[in-house]
Amino acid sequence: KAHVEAPVLGSMILASILLKVGGYGMLKMYYLYEFFTNKISINFTLILILMSGTLCMLQTDLKKFVAYSSVTHMTMLLVLLMMDYTHFDSSSIFLMISHGVISNSLFFLVGMLSYASTSRLLYKQNNFMSMNPVLWYWSMVILFLNTDTPPSVALV
């Protein structure tokens, strides 16, 4: 809710800095939460990721879509925390850095789109590709990076 109601700059700061502070805190407190590393907790977290991914697909508001994808991205950090993985430190830092860059870019693109079309609704973004093909290309690249495709640093 904070992402959606904040202005674009506030959402960018929240996605790039404040969520990383929480992720860094989870990284530092990892050894206190070792009792959560069971299969039930991991499966529950994966179900939460699937639910938030489904909520992403059902959104018509672009800013809500980016907010839910940000939640999905940061929940992967929780999965890494519970998986007793040997390279947890470096992969979680890569995930947090990539989330900061990708979510920032997505919120910036939503701000540009909502300014150009005076609406954040997906169905009111008519002729976006023909009006500005360069912006359309970069928005598609950032959306593919958000899905953790192989050229992305978020592919942990």
Domain segments of the chain as ranges? 2-146
Summarize pLDDT for 103-137 with one digit per residue, the tens.
Answer: 888 888 888 888 888 888 888 877 777 788 888 88
pLDDT of residue 14: 82
pLDDT of residue 86: 67
User: Average pLDDT over the chain, rounded to whole?
Assistant: 80
Summarize pLDDT for 54-113 with one digit per residue, the tens.
Answer: 888 888 888 888 888 888 888 888 887 777 666 777 778 888 888 888 888 888 888 888
pLDDT of residue 88: 73
Task: State the DSSP string of 61-121.
Answer: BHHHHHHHHHHHHHHHHHHHHHTT-TTHHHHHHHHHHHHHHHHHHHHHHHHHHHHHHS--B
